[in-house]
Amino acid sequence: MNAFLLGHILLALFVRSPLYETAGAAPKPHPTVYLFLNTECPVCQQYAPRLAELHRSFRKAGVRFVGVYPLSTDSPQTIRQFHKLYQLPFEGQADPGAKLARYFRTHVTPEVVLMATDGTVSYQGAVDDWYVSLGKHRPSPTQHYLRDALTALLAGQPVAVPRTDAVGCLIE
């Protein structure tokens, strides 16, 4: 599927949702980080402060962050509660039938997809290397994959590591 068509699919799925309705204004193209999350996943819960900090760091540069919830157990109400409880300052959107998760072949939460303004995937995978495996993490990350990808993309540079394997709860 080409980038143009992918961009229109993403617009249809997310921009037209109630979370994105504006007073008739057309959305401007921005790099967008899709964060595949699960309200019941302990890894997602532990990553919440890091995700909020990344949002704060990059929102002024025009980067959009969207929490995408592919599990049927995550209703709009539980998503709102999760964002409030964990102080996530970006929007959250259910992914009915996990269509977007299947399209991007995401398998775990949290997993991120960074879309450039032209609709191409610039980075996909882990937020960073904090988690080594389920239940095991470093004291602090040594690689900041998403932060580095965002920094490169905004500087017009190629992303050095375009893909990593995320560690987290399975999307089923």
With respect to residue 21, please indicate whether it lies within any of the assigned structural domains.
no
Residue 11 is predicted with a pLDDT of 46
Residue 27 is predicted with a pLDDT of 53
Phi-psi region of 92 (alpha: psi -120 to 50; beta: other; left: phi over 0): beta
Write down the pTM of the prediction.
0.84
With respect to residue 22, please indicate whether it lies within any of the assigned structural domains.
no
Show the domain range for 71.
3-13+29-170
CATH number at residue 56: 3.40.30.10
With respect to residue 24, please indicate whether it lies within any of the assigned structural domains.
no
Residue 28 is predicted with a pLDDT of 55
Mean pLDDT by runs of 10 across the 172 residues of the chain is 46 44 51 97 97 97 97 96 98 95 96 96 98 91 98 96 97 89
Reported as type and span, the H/E element at residue 34 is strand 32-36
Residue 8 is predicted with a pLDDT of 43
With respect to residue 18, please indicate whether it lies within any of the assigned structural domains.
no
111-142: b (≥16 Cβ within 10 Å) or e: bbbbbbeebebbbbbbbbbbbeeeeeeeeebe
Number of structural domains (the chain) is: 1
* CA–CA distance, 127 with 129 (Å, rounded to integer): 7
Largest CA distance in the chain: 47
